[in-house]
Amino acid sequence: MPVPRPPQPETPAPDAFAVHRAPVADGVELAYLREGIGGYPLLLVHGYPETKRIWWRNVAPLAAAGFEVIVPDLRGYGDSDLSPNDEYDLALYSRDLHTLVHDVLGHPRCGLVGGDVGGVVIVDMANRFPGFADRMIFFNTVAPVVLDRADWYAEHGLSLVPLEPGPTGDYRIRQGRDGKELLAELDTPARRRRYVREFYEHRLWASQYSFEEADCDFMTEPFADAAKLAASWAPYQLEHGRPMSEPPLLMQQTETRTLILYGPDDQVVPKDFPKRCEIAFPNRVGPLVVPEAGHFLQWERADVFNPVTEMFFGDLRAR
């Protein structure tokens, strides 16, 4: 018999939140949720293989706690537009989101929360737009590499360049180097959804039994579209020759006060992630390990994630 998982907040219905749209770049509109208008703004940024739906258990509790919760789909994902020129990279994601929050919604500052690709994007945002991010929560992704601290990595038995991802990291090669061939194999909506579903099940990203049948259906539906699935692979193709608009700002320490969380059941993010974060974020809280959680920490342990987020940003609600 499986060990029962900790009870989680009730998952809202798929249509529980209104979806808004706003132009952020030439030919690109982002879809986003915006709940709790008037509270302190929190930007929640998804990664891969996710959309804004990965935050479904977090939106209502955080809005009820006094935050304006802004949850976009990155360009090319979910309900957001595909790029008309096939332009996708980390700096573009960052600029899109800054335009949405700062220019469209009118927030000069906000709190940033992200994991996976979203975690990397919020680090770029904090470094690219000084003063925009008050604080950040960063979890289960690639830790920034501080190139001028090679001595520190050596002292702690770490390579300067992070190790390859764990035993299920082969997806990076297929999606990055062999994307066209892989997409040809996934030639029906059902096959595309089945491929994405594996990340939530047996590929050892999530803590066991974190996603039930209906949860997997909900998470994989946006990836049935071949063009959207292909667009979501763009970050992995940057290692294999895809052109980028400009380098992301990830090779430096990030001074923004940052809470580091880590779901240890994740078998794709290298186990040295917490240690690497200690040098990348000098003004940090943590790393804090969240038990019975993996890559999708915000969903798997929403019972922990939501109150921790409220506490970390809580004093900023008085603004």
Domain ranges of the chain: 20-166+246-318
Question: Could you say which of 3.50.50.60, 3.40.50.720, 3.40.50.1820, 3.30.9.90 is the CATH number of the domain covering 20-166+246-318?
Answer: 3.40.50.1820
As a whole number of angstroms, the distance between CA 132 and CA 30 comes to 20
CB 48, CB 98: distance < 8 Å: no
CB 99, CB 24: distance < 8 Å: yes
- How many CB atoms sit inside 10 A of residue 252's CB? 15
pLDDT of 1 strictly over 60: no
Q: Across 131-140, 169-178, 205-214, 233-242, which has the greatest mean pLDDT?
A: 131-140
H/E element, 129: none
What pLDDT does 191 receive? 98
- The 10s digit of each residue's pLDDT in 102-121 is 999 999 999 999 999 999 99
Provide the pLDDT confidence category of residue 275 given band limits of 50, 70 and 90: very high
Bond preceding residue 84 cis, omega within 30 of 0: no
Q: pTM here? A: 0.96
CB 9, CB 61: distance < 8 Å: yes
As a whole number of angstroms, the distance between CA 36 and CA 44 comes to 14
